[in-house]
């Protein structure tokens, strides 16, 4: 079962400000994925949705995504239980490219997070858009995923660990996950 979060104007404003800061931090540096305001903003909106989901269920979160100086850390920490990184895709690209992590990014990701929470969002970024929390996986799940090149034909291909849709865990199950 997925969870849908409607982005408020206030959440969009916060995410936009943070996305602009992180875009500036990564300007001119090679990355695992595209370095654009769209990709940074979509990522921040997924982080907003995940924090709201957990907090609405009584979970206290440490939202490291709110601090650009903590960009190298997990996005959300549940003290004494787990650290999660949030990955968000435009819903148009989810079937083909979602649920994947760059093979070269994985070693670093594994040191900062215990789980990955997967989200999709409406294509058009605006207030009242939806972000859907599709599910989550442990780092062990990701590490065991098949490897393949992903990306549009005739464009940059990224070698990834790519989970199939059936490999996602139900988002409600993260409420009882304890990896620390």
3-class SS at 60?
coil
pTM score over 0.85: yes
The Cα–Cα gap between 68 and 18 comes to 7
- For 117-163, how does the pLDDT look when each residue is reduced to its tens digit (9 = 90+)? 999 999 999 999 999 999 999 999 999 999 999 888 888 888 999 99
Report the number of distinct structural domains present in the chain: 1
Percent of the chain at pLDDT above 70?
96
The Cα–Cα gap between 102 and 147 comes to 9
Range of the domain at 58: 3-66+74-176
């Amino acid at each position: 079962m997925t969870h849908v979060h409607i982005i408020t104007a206030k959440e969009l404003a916060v995410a936009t400000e943070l996305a602009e800061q992180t875009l500036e931090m990564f300007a001119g540096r090679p990355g695992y994925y595209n370095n654009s305001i769209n990709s940074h903003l979509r990522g921040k909106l997924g982080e907003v949705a995940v924090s709201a989901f957990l907090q609405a269920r009584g979970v206290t979160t440490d939202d490291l995504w709110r601090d650009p100086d903590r960009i190298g850390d997990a996005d959300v920490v549940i003290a004494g239980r787990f650290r999660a990184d949030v990955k968000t895709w435009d819903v148009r690209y989810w079937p083909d490219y979602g649920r994947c992590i760059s093979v070269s990014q994985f070693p670093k990701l594994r040191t900062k997070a215990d789980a990955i929470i997967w989200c999709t969002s409406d294509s058009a970024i605006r207030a009242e858009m939806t972000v859907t929390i599709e599910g989550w996986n442990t780092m062990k799940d990701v590490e065991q995923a098949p490897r393949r090149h992903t990306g549009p034909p005739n464009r940059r291909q990224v070698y990834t660990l790519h989970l199939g849709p059936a490999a996602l865990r139900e988002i409600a199950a993260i409420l009882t996950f304890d990896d620390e």
